[in-house]
Chain A
Amino acid sequence: DVVMTQSPLSLPVILGQPASISCRSSQSLVYSDGTTHLSWFHQRPGQSPRRLIYKVSKRDSGVPDRFSGSGSGTDFTLKISRVEAEDVGVYYCMQNTHWPHTFGQGTKLEIK
Chain B
Amino acid sequence: EVQLVESGGSLVHPGGSLRLSCEASGFTFSNYWMSWVRQAPGKGLEWVAHISQSGRDKFYVESVKGRFTISRDNARNSLYLQMNSLRVEDTAVYHCAGWGDGDAPWGQGTLVTVSS
Interface set of A (CB-CB < 8 Å, partner B) = 39, 41, 47-51, 54-55, 58, 60-61, 92, 94, 96, 99-106
Contact = CB atoms under 8 A, between A and B. Distances in A.
Contacts, number: 48
A94 B37 CA distance: 12
B104 interface: yes
Interface of B: 35, 44-47, 50, 59-62, 95, 99, 101-104, 106-109
Contact of A48 (B46, B50, B107): B107
Contacts of A50: 106
Nearest to B93: A48
Contact of B95 (A39, A48, A58, A92): A48
B110 to A, nearest CB: 11
A48 B106 contact: yes
Contacts of A106: 44-45
